[in-house]
Amino acid sequence: MRVLLDEPQVFVTYRTASVYCEDAELDVDAVWRGQRNGLCGAAVAGWLQMITGTHTGGVPFRVESHEAEPPLDDAGEEIVEVSFTASGARVHLAELDASESYLLALPAGDFRVRYQVNGLDDREHTEERADACLLQFWPAPPEPDRIVRQTSTEAAYWHRAHSRLKSGTKSHKADNSPRRTRTAKPRTAPSQERRPSPPLRAAMRWANPLIEMDRDLTLDLGDADGETVRSVAVWAAERAADVAGLGVLPWTGAALAAVKAGDPPPPPFTPRRRDQRGVWDLLDDPAIQLTTVVLPRLLPEEPVMEMSQQHVAMPALFAAAAANPLVGAINAVYAAACAHGTDHYRSFLAELRVRFPSLGPVVSEAPGR
């Protein structure tokens, strides 16, 4: 057995970490399709997408390489197995947007992968009670994924939600709310629907699922010029700060002023993820009144999630300074939409369209049209 990585603090956001070959291309609509398990997406060649218990913060990750299938860990709470083919390009383990990654010395070939994660149902992760993740690779021919062990309600939810993504279907069902479609470019047939541009496809490897919230807006951002994309990111960060009551704070103003001027923002809003850990300490200020917001649901069967509005809005501030402007814009808009909550995020997205008319107008349609 070789230990490829033993890192006590892999920083994750939005419960997501990835293992990927450098030459792999992620399709966010396909990574879970056709699978039984919902904790380790492996339906895209050269890519693994893993669910963690921690939403934002450091998670212990251990990665092992074995010559043959290792014995099961009796202490493992949630265990799934998938297949993975290493192309020969370098393999990394990274957080959602890959601003920091870890190189894994994995040779080319077909592997079976066992993903084990503990602590999914523990909402109060601390240094003493952290969710822990283990990845084990061993040579094996490709075969279907399987759920080896399930003990938590959180794991049951993800297995149920992601298993609904069958081949050829969209990644979420339509709800009963009005649908917005672009009037500038009417669609004629499903085969002629717009597809993400190459820059957007690359950005979606690291960006949050705004495309699940508003597909047309995401596609338009992918086609927009660089100045519009940067302006959208800054505007969304300002709106997120305002709706969460953070806009009047000095450190918010300093960060936004820097990104507006094209300068690096002051710590802890620098693009390096490890430097951003101090962001959350700012919200411990007793002068800040924490409020809650119900997050928009991207799948009808998702549970209702109520979170601190200030913690949801904060990622928009450092997204505006992201090294990749398109990733930054998508993440800033997504965070701001979530900070507006399930009752107001559609109004926020419509306001964005008004503020940036080059992205194209939208109209509301009655359900079923």
How many domains are contained in the chain?
2
Which of the residue ranges 30-44, 253-267, 278-292 would you say has the lowest mean pLDDT?
278-292
The more confident residue out of 176 and 63 is: 63
Q: Show the tokens assigned to 190.
A: 């499903």
In-domain check, residue 357: yes
pLDDT of res. 350: 92
Average pLDDT, the chain: 82
pLDDT for residue 189 is more than 50: no
The more confident residue out of 27 and 126 is: 27
pLDDT of res. 69: 96
Per-residue pLDDT band at 175 (split at 50, 70, 90): very low
pLDDT of res. 181: 32
118 DSSP β-pair partners: 132
Print the domain residue range for 318: 179-365
Q: Write a three-state SS string for 43-87.
A: CCCCEEEEECCCCCEEEEEEEEECCCCCCCCCCCCEEEEEEEEEC
> Of 52, 12, 47, 5, which is closest to residue 27 (Cα–Cα)?
47
Kindly state whether residues 213 and 145 are assigned to the same domain.
no
- Asked if residue 250 lies in contact with residue 285, where contact means CB atoms within 8 angstroms, the answer is no
pLDDT tens digits along 204-234: 877 888 988 999 999 999 999 999 999 999 9
Residue type, 138: W
Average pLDDT over residues 296-305: 76
Q: What share of the chain is helix, strand, coil (3-state, %, to 5)?
A: 30, 25, 45
81 DSSP β-pair partners: 114, 146
The CATH number that applies at residue 146 is 2.60.34.30
Report pTM.
0.57
pLDDT tens digits along 94-148: 876 556 789 999 999 999 999 999 988 775 544 445 578 999 999 999 999 999 9
Average pLDDT over residues 272-286: 73
pLDDT of res. 356: 94
pLDDT of res. 231: 95
Per-residue pLDDT band at 6 (split at 50, 70, 90): very high
* Residue 360, number of CB atoms within 10 A of its CB: 17
Kindly state whether residues 112 and 224 are assigned to the same domain.
no
Kindly state whether residues 229 and 253 are assigned to the same domain.
yes
How many whole angstroms separate alpha carbon 281 and alpha carbon 81? Answer: 37
pLDDT for residue 76 is more than 60: yes
Average pLDDT over residues 31-58: 89
- Of 163, 191, 210, which residue is a domain's last? 163
167 burial type by CB count under 10 A (0-12 exposed, 13-18 middle, 19+ buried): exposed
Residue tagged 């609509």 (tokens)? 29
How many whole angstroms separate alpha carbon 179 and alpha carbon 202? Answer: 27
Q: Show the tokens assigned to 325.
A: 């402007």
Kindly state whether residues 122 and 189 are assigned to the same domain.
no
Per-residue pLDDT band at 330 (split at 50, 70, 90): very high
* Residue 66, number of CB atoms within 10 A of its CB: 16
What phi and psi values does residue 129 have, to the nearest 5 degrees?
-130, 75
pLDDT tens digits along 242-278: 999 998 888 888 988 998 888 888 888 876 666 666 6
How many whole angstroms separate alpha carbon 136 and alpha carbon 130? Answer: 20
Average pLDDT over residues 134-163: 91
In-domain check, residue 129: yes
pLDDT of res. 28: 67
Kindly state whether residues 55 and 88 are assigned to the same domain.
yes
In-domain check, residue 170: no
Kindly state whether residues 128 and 267 are assigned to the same domain.
no
Kindly state whether residues 191 and 150 are assigned to the same domain.
no
Kindly state whether residues 151 and 217 are assigned to the same domain.
no
pLDDT for residue 10 is more than 70: yes
Kindly state whether residues 196 and 147 are assigned to the same domain.
no
In-domain check, residue 242: yes
